[in-house]
Structure 1
C-alpha cells in the first residue's frame, strides 16, 4: 500500500486501540465501583445510582438502579464496544502491514464482520425483553449490519487475494 494509506490506517488503528482501552478502563472502573459500593451515590429513593469520578463527588454516570438495566443497558454495551474497537483496530492494523493478503489478516476481517453481522440484533432483541430499547439503538444495529456486510465482501476479496498470491508463489 502507499505510504499515505498506511499512515492513515496507522492513525485510525491507534485511535481505535485507545478507544478500546478507554472502554475497558471505564467498564473496569464502573464494575469495581458497583461491586464494592465505593465511589457511588444512590439518589431518588434508590432509583438512581451514580458512579462518581475517582476521588470526587461528581457523577461520571447516572444509571437506573436495577440489575437488568445495569447488566444489559450499561455493562453489556460497554463490553461489546470495547471488543468492537479492539477488533476494528486489528482491521486497521492489517492495512499498515507490507503484506496484506495473509490468513492472519483474513481472520481479523472475518472476526470483525462476524461481530457486526451477528451480535447487534440478537443482543438488542435479548435486551428488549428486559429493558426498553430506544429506537436509535435499532438504527445503530442496522448500521453495524451494513458495516458487517461491507467487511464480509472485503474479506472475500482478501480470500481471493490469498489464493492468487499462493498460485503466483507456486509458479516462482
Structure 2
C-alpha cells in the first residue's frame, strides 16, 4: 500500500498543479472580458487577451461570437475543475482509511460530472456544426472515465458497507 500512497500523492500534486493554471486562466479571461481589456483585431473578427500588465499575447480567439467566447472560457475552467476533482480522487488513495463516505462522495461527484458536463457542449457543437468530431471524441473519453469512476465508486461503497458490518461485529 506504500507504493499506492506514493503514486497517489505524486498524482495528487501533479493534478493540482495542472488545475490551478486552468482555473486562474479562466478567471483572468472573465475579468478581461468584464473589464473590456480584450483587444479586437481584423475588423472585430478575432480577439487577443494579453498577459497581465503587458502587451504580450496570452490567448488568441478565432471568433467574437458569444458562444465561442463562452465555450473557450468554460472549457478552460471546466478542465481546471476536472483536474481538481481528479486530484481529490487521488487524494482518496492517500488516506489511511480508504472506504469512507467522503471518498465515495468524491467518486460520485467525479463520475456524475464526467457523464453530464460534456453533453451540453456536444449539443452546442452539433447545433453550430463546429468541430463536432473533436467534441464527440472528448465526450466519449469523458464517458469512459466516468464509467471507470462509477465502478470505483461502487467498489468503494461496497467496501464501506463491509467495513461498517465488520465494525458492528468488533
Alignment TM-score, normalising by the size of structure 2: 0.93
Root-mean-square deviation over aligned CA pairs: 1.4
Moved over 2 A (4+): 126-131
- The corresponding residue for 1:124 is 122
- The corresponding residue for 1:94 is 92
Contact 2:121/2:135 (8 A) holds in 1: no
Contact 1:69/1:131 (8 A) holds in 2: no
- The corresponding residue for 2:74 is 76
Selected match of 1:111 from 87, 109, 125: 109
Deviation, structure 1 residue 67: 1.3
Does 2:65 align with 1:66? yes
C-alpha change, 1:45 and 1:131, in structure 2 (3 Å) is farther
C-alpha change, 1:120 and 1:75, in structure 2 (3 Å) is same
- The corresponding residue for 2:25 is 26
CA distance in 2, matches of 1:134, 1:123: 10
Q: Structure 2: give runs of 5+ residues left out of the alignment.
A: none
CA distance in 2, matches of 1:53, 1:132: 28
- The corresponding residue for 2:53 is 55
User: What is the number of residues matched between the two proteins?
Assistant: 169
Selected match of 1:42 from 36, 40, 43: 40
CA distance in 2, matches of 1:28, 1:138: 26
- The corresponding residue for 1:11 is 10
Partner-residue secondary structure (3-state), 2:60: strand
Alignment TM-score, normalising by the size of structure 1: 0.92
CA distance in 2, matches of 1:122, 1:160: 32
CA distance in 1, matches of 2:129, 2:53: 31
Q: Structure 1: give runs of 5+ residues left out of the alignment.
A: none
Partner-residue secondary structure (3-state), 1:45: helix
CA distance in 2, matches of 1:122, 1:24: 20
